[in-house]
Structure 1
C-alpha cells in the first residue's frame, strides 16, 4: 500500500512505489546524486530499470546540470530473460541421425 505524506505528493517510481516526499527526505539526509538515490530508495531499480523514472530522478537531484567526468547517470537496462541453448539452436538435434559411419 502506498502512503503519501501530503496531498500534493506523487509517485516518482511506479515499479518500486517511491514517492516524491521519500526522495526529498533522502535529499535532506544528504543524498546528492541519482546513483546514491537509487541505492537508498530503490527508485529506478524496478522492472523498467529506470526507463520511466530515471530522467525525473536525474532532474530532482540536479544531475542533469552536472557535466563533470566523474558523474554517472542512472543506467537503464533492457529486461533480461534466460534463453536455453535449445531455443538458440532452433530445437533438439537427433544425434543418432547425424553420425557418419
Structure 2
C-alpha cells in the first residue's frame, strides 16, 4: 500500500517514487538502471518529464565521465514527406 506522501514520478508509465527507492535499495546505481528496471522514462514523453529527477536521485546529473551515457529525451515525432505536408495529408 502506498503512503500518502508517495507521488507519481513518471506519468507516462505510472511509476511511483517509492518504487524507484526500492529499486535503488536493490542495487541500481545510476539513472539508466533505474529507467530499465522501472520503465520510468520509457513512455510517450521519452523522459522529458521524469528524466531530470531520475538523474538527480542518482547524482548522474553532473557525471561527465566518458563511459557514462546520460538519459536521452527526444520529442515524440514521426517523419512526414514534404509532399504530404504540402497536400495536408497526414493519414491519421
Give yes or no for TM over 0.5.
yes
- What residue ranges of structure 2 are gaps of 5+ in the alignment? 88-92
Cα distance in 2 for partners of 1:58, 1:42 equals 14
User: 73, 76, 90: which one pairs with 1:76?
Assistant: 73
Q: 4+ residue runs of structure 1 moved beyond 3 angstroms?
A: none
What secondary structure does 1:64 align onto?
coil
Match of 1:63 among 49, 60, 63: 60
Aligned to 2:29: 32
Q: Is the radius of gyration larger for structure 1 or structure 2?
A: 1
Q: CA RMSD in A?
A: 1.7
State the distance in 2 between where 1:47 and 1:59 align: 21
Counterparts of 1:65 and 1:84, CA distance in 2: 39
Structure 1: runs of 5 or more not aligned: 92-101
> What number of residue pairs does the alignment pair up?
87
- The normalised TM-score by structure 2 is 0.82
Shift of 1:80: 2.2
Normalised by the length of structure 1, the TM-score is 0.76
State the alpha-carbon separation in 2 of the partners of residues 81 and 65 from structure 1: 31
